[in-house]
Amino acid sequence: MVRKIAVFFAFVAFFLLALMYFTPKANIYFAIEHELKKRDVIISNESVIDNGFSLELQNAELFFKSVKSADIQTLNVKIFGIYNSLSMSGIELSPTASSFLPLSIESAVISHSLFNPLNVSIYQVGEAGEVKGSFNLLDMALHIIFEPSELMLKEYKNSMREFNKSKEGEYTYDKSF
Predicted confidence (pLDDT) per residue in 50-80, tens digit: 998 999 999 999 999 999 999 999 999 998 8
pLDDT over 90 at 17, yes or no: no
Q: Can you name the residues that pair with 176 across neighbouring β-strands?
A: 141
**Residue type (1 letter), 168:** E
- Per-residue CA distances from 119 to 80, 102, 131 (Å): 17, 27, 16
On whether the CB atoms of residues 125 and 107 are closer than 8 A, the answer is yes
Collapsing DSSP to helix, strand or coil, 7 comes out as helix
The pTM is what? Answer: 0.84
Average pLDDT over residues 142-152: 94
Mean pLDDT score of the chain, rounded to an integer?
A: 92
pLDDT over 90 at 20, yes or no: no
Predicted pLDDT of residue 80: 82
**Residue type (1 letter), 118:** L
